[in-house]
Amino acid sequence: MYVKSLTLKGFKSFASATHLRLEPGITCIVGPNGSGKSNVVDALAWVMGEQGAKSLRGGKMEDVIFAGTAGRAPLGRAEVALTIDNTDGALPIDYTEVTIARTMFRNGGSDYSINGTPCRLLDIQELLSDSGIGREMHVIVGQGQLDTVLRATPEERRGFIEEAAGVLKHRKRKERALRKLDAMEANLTRVQDLTGEIR
């Protein structure tokens, strides 16, 4: 499994559609300061479901949309598509090539798709979580992030280890199940109240 390509359109400084084709092995992106190297890495995190504007070095999520320059008007939406080579079947899906896409409009909300089929953020998170990639997998180490890891509390460190060990997916499922149980409990109490009133 490896990242085959990344396409950005209207994402941060990439106003025009930009297609980056990658090969297996190491890829280096070089360029002058402010030319958009980190924006490429932000696009990777964003398409994999990043929800925190701060992690993307912005104040609000809308900041990922091209804000315009002296010679070019702002755009109304940002689009990123990530294509992963899955010939080794590392991703639990019956395709040898998987394209994950995310689109966001200025009025908020994101649309996601897997191989062109609209899906939920949860579907993308679950697809990626067993493979060791994904926005919460610490595969993207940003500038200054090593300091954060070194200064982490024991609880935070446990979180990193749990994520690396693949426990995260199950922890999230457990949390969802517990929330459903709570809602069910509340419904049951309500039904008991109503039954009591009817008697």
The residues facing 2 across adjacent strands are 85
Beta-carbon contacts of residue 88 (< 8 Å; ≥ 6 apart): 1
The string of DSSP codes covering 148-190 is HHHT--HHHHHHHHHHHTT-HHHHHHHHHHHHHHHHHHHHHHH
Among residues 146 and 178, whose Cβ is nearest to ligand ATP? 146
Judge whether 100 and 113 are in contact, CB under 8 Å. Answer: yes
Which of 66, 124, 129, 134 contacts ligand ATP by CB under 6 A? Answer: 66
CB of 104 to ligand ATP, least distance (A): 11
Q: Does 35 participate in binding ligand ATP (rule CB under 6 A)?
A: yes
CB closer to ligand ATP out of 4 and 12 = 12
Count, in order, helices (H) and strands (E) of the chain: 5, 6
DSSP symbol at 64: G
Stretch that binds ligand ATP, among 64-72, 105-113, 119-127, 176-184 (CB under 6 A): 64-72
Based on the shown chain and the rule CB under 6 A, indicate whether residue 38 belongs to the binding site for ligand ATP.
Answer: yes
Residue 26 CB, nearest approach to ligand ATP (Å): 18
Q: Is 34 in the site for ligand ATP (CB under 6 A)?
A: yes
Give, in order, the Cα–Cα distances in Å from 32 to each of 14, 39, 72, 133: 15, 13, 21, 28
Q: Does 36 bind ligand ATP (CB under 6 A)?
A: yes
Would you tell me which residues interact with ligand ATP (CB under 6 A)? 12-13, 31, 33-39, 63, 65-67
Numbered residues of the known binding site = 32-39
